[in-house]
Amino acid sequence: MRKAIVEFQAFAGLNITGELDRETAETMSLPRCGVRDKVGYATDSRSKRYALQGSRWRVKELSYKISKYPRNLNHEKVDVELAKAFQVWADQTDLVFKRKTKGQVHIEIRFEKGEHGDGDPFDGPGGTLAHAYFPVYGGDAHFDDAENWSIDSYRGTNLFQVAAHEFGHSLGLSHSDVKTALMAPFYRGYEPHFQLDIDDIQGIQALYGKKTHKTPMSNGDKTTTTTEAPVASGEDAELCNDASVDTLFNSAEGVTYAFKGEHYWKLTEEGLAAGYPRLISKSWQGLPSDIDAAFTYRNGKTYFFKGSLYWRYVGKKMDGDYPKQISEGFTGIPDNVDAALVWGGNGKIYFFKGSKFWRFDPSQKPPVKKTYPKPISNWEGIPDNLDAALQYTNGYTYFFKRGYYYRFNDRTFSVDTADPAFPRPAGFWWFGCKSAASGADTNSIPRDENENVSGGSRTVTRNFMLVIGVAILHLFAWSRSS
């Protein structure tokens, strides 16, 4: 009992007494953030401070979208409050936030009630107010729509303050044990003269550096940026007529490329960069067309696969004497693979071919365990015979097939639940084809005979909760981190 109370007091930034005193009991009853933090904080004499989750965005310009608004507030006022919440962090760094109303974004925001498809149901008024995912898990933020959200009022729950806290998680900050910090796990009420604690500032700057230039404040629902947004080149006839691709991959610099036949395109947040397509052979000299798969490993080198051969590049320069045989450099991996990616869940390399997949780990011998290959149906909802796969810069894993794509939730290990549902047309959502439909009629998607589309039965073990056999600490056990 005493140990559990001590851990809670350390977690909440309280005086550590080991006793269930009044301050401790009152803190237990406070509304709280729903992001799980590790139970068992240090209780020694170390300095209290912010905590970093370990992931961060690799770009400074981040987009967000409010997909579902709260029931009790004007939409335009919500736009303003959430823009202000992002600006709290932009004021201390060179981060820039841009609101979009459609298309792909880094951070999706929704107001939901109860169970809402992510395995973390809300609990009604009070209790858990909201939760957000760290960058490696996609950065999305969900707010409990059962709460009485308010603006500039002591009544209800202040939307701006809670949103600023949740967006801290979306940017990579864990909870702080400094109870005056915005990133403390408990909501302590409306503060009309709100400002970040020095602990919050040090935390966000540890992730993204100090501010080097001034950024204009957000005006209403549009956040003004200091640099021009990427300019799309307009619809590309080749990709918009047939959005299937050979492979997609992220470079070591964080740029996403799509390969198809002898051409490649550079992707932006809006669609395709101007000046594309270009010839693969002109930019990656020595690399053939019709690539099967590609990925960039954590050593910063990009690997391309075709037939029985593979090539390795540093940037766009071939790194040595290539091509080489897949059987030599990737022992245990078959020829003619369909797709490959480095999965963010564990940093291992995964290859897909037909109805099977292989996991490759160069740090172990042999690099492919005898238990592989395994059925792709283990990746619940992902079809066989893929065209491409990658982990995008927003932390999500994406799979592509015949012009459609699936967004995979690494937490639930299944295709994400969203509206429109997945699979979605890649032309509209990835390549800026405005004339394409945005949703998917799954009955019209071409499939292979006997193809797996629903996924197989599987057991997902979730090790999110530490069971504490003390009823009074139930709330503490549900204070969360990812």
- What is the mean predicted confidence (pLDDT) over 91-107? 93
At 191 the pLDDT is 87
Secondary structure of 240-266 in HEC code, one letter for each residue = HHCCCCCEEEECCCCCEEEEECCEEEE
- Do residues 23 and 174 touch, judged by C-beta distance below 8 A? no
Lowest mean pLDDT among 33-37, 59-63, 275-279: 33-37
What burial letters (b/e) apply to 348-360, b meaning 16+ CB within 10 Å? bbbbbbbbbbbbb
Highest mean pLDDT among 100-104, 340-344, 385-389: 385-389
Angle at alpha carbon of residue 112, lines to 31 and 406, rounded to 5°: 125
DSSP letter assigned to residue 473: G
Catalytic residue among 166, 228, 269, 328: 166
At 10 the pLDDT is 62
Round to the nearest angstrom and report the end-to-end CA distance of the chain.
26
Whether residue 249 has pLDDT greater than 90: yes
Give the model confidence (pLDDT) of 181-207 as tens digits.
999 887 878 888 888 999 999 999 999
Give the model confidence (pLDDT) of 323-336 as tens digits.
999 999 999 999 99
DSSP per-residue codes, 187-247: -----TT----HHHHHHHHHHH----S--PPPBTTB---SSPPPPB----HHHHH----SE
Banded pLDDT at 125 (limits 50, 70, 90): confident
- What is the mean predicted confidence (pLDDT) over 168-176? 91
- What is the mean predicted confidence (pLDDT) over 156-178? 91
At 347 the pLDDT is 85
At 126 the pLDDT is 73
Pick the residue with more confidence: 375 or 476? 375
User: What gap in Å lies between CA 107 and CA 399, rounded to an integer?
Assistant: 19
* Structure tokens that stand for 480 in this block: 């969360």
User: What is the average pLDDT score of the chain?
Assistant: 80
Verify whether residue 380 is a known catalytic residue: no
Banded pLDDT at 456 (limits 50, 70, 90): very low
The number of CA neighbours under 13 Å toward the Cβ of 469 is 0
- Contacts for 193 with CB less than 8 Å, ≥ 6 apart: none
Which residues sit in the known binding site? 33, 116, 118, 123-124, 131, 138, 140, 142, 144-145, 147, 165, 169, 175, 183, 246, 292, 294, 340, 387
At 413 the pLDDT is 84
- With both helix axes pointing from N to C terminus, report the angle between 159-170 and 75-90 in degrees, rounded to the nearest 10: 50
At 35 the pLDDT is 53
Which residues sit in the known binding site for Ca(2+)? 123-124, 138, 140, 144-145, 147, 246, 292, 294, 340, 387
Lowest mean pLDDT among 34-48, 295-309, 330-344, 388-402: 34-48
At 460 the pLDDT is 31
In three-state secondary structure terms, 284 is: coil
- What structural domains and CATH numbers belong to the chain? 1-229+462-482 (3.40.390.10), 237-444 (2.110.10.10)
